[in-house]
């Protein structure tokens, strides 16, 4: 889960200068941009080789959750060392690999490439809106974290159940909810960085990456269900 959701506090209590906060934000943006490269590489490898096609149902869920939480634990342990960035990039490669099944399915539509670009543009638009809001909102948003955490837990349980149920309607509902929850998480995480609540740019990058990944994945799934066209 989003590693920024358990840290709370007001902007005044952090005691960081504006220059320090901007440095964390700048480094976070650079690393976030860099993290997209291994994600694309992992997705391309997965689609090209079909290596993830065998990960169906419960097996795929176990591999995904085990790998994701294992990497996030390793990132937390190495975030203050030179190994932090390579571990984070390894995680983003893994996430791209796990995303390749969905991308492969979308590419099976005649308008698959268009749907992927639309999901990418939509995710970029959400990020731009949340980043803009984070700079103009003056109030402390730390209280959002508790509610977003609960929403994310409910969402994860629903997604796990739907893996076994295989309901398209359930997938649509989960995707819509995920877009809303992780867009709000994006605002929350960006505001924490701007307020000085996050001082480690690797942790900040992980939080924002998870927000973006979940919004993109949910948008892509929604577009595939609603707008996928067969030849």
Kindly state the percentage of the chain with pLDDT values over 70. Answer: 90
Round the average pLDDT of the chain to a whole number and report it.
Answer: 86
Average pLDDT over residues 60-66: 81
pTM of the model: 0.87
DSSP code string of the chain: --TTTT----HHHH---HHHHHHHHHHHHHHHHHHHHHHHHHHHHHHHH-TTTT--HHHHHHHHHHHHHHHHHHHHHHTTSTTHHHHHHHHHHHHHHHHHHHHHHHHTSTTHHHHHHHHHHHHHHHHHHHHHHHHH--S--TTHHHHHHHHHHHHHHHHHHHHHH--HHHHHHHHHHHHHHHHHHHHHHHHHHHHTS---HHHHHHHHHHHHHHHHHHHHHHHHHHH----
Residue 194, pLDDT > 50, answer: yes
Parse the chain into domains and list their residue ranges.
16-227
What are 104-127's pLDDT values in tens digits? 999 989 888 999 999 999 999 999
What are 166-179's pLDDT values in tens digits? 778 888 999 999 99
């Amino acid at each position: 889960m989003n590693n920024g959701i358990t840290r709370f506090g007001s902007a005044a209590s952090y005691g960081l200068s504006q220059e320090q906060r901007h440095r964390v934000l700048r480094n976070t943006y650079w690393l976030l941009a860099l993290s997209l490269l291994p994600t694309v590489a992992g997705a391309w490898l997965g689609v090209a080789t079909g290596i993830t096609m065998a990960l169906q149902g419960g097996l795929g869920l176990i591999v995904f959750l085990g790998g994701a939480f294992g990497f996030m634990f390793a990132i937390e342990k190495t975030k203050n060392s030179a190994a932090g960035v390579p571990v984070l990039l390894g995680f983003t490669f893994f996430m791209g690999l796990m995303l390749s099944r969905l991308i492969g399915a979308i590419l099976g539509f005649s308008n698959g490439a268009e749907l992927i670009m639309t999901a990418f543009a939509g995710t970029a638009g959400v990020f731009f809106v949340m980043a803009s809001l984070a700079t103009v909102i003056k109030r402390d948003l730390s209280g959002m974290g508790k509610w977003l955490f609960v929403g994310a837990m409910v969402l994860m349980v629903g997604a796990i159940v739907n893996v076994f149920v295989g309901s398209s309607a359930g997938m649509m509902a989960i995707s819509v909810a995920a877009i809303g929850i992780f867009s709000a998480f994006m605002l929350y995480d960006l505001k924490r960085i701007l307020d000085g609540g996050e001082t480690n740019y690797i942790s900040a990058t992980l939080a924002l990456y998870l927000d973006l990944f979940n919004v993109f994945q949910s948008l892509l799934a929604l577009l595939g269900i609603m707008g996928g066209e067969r030849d």
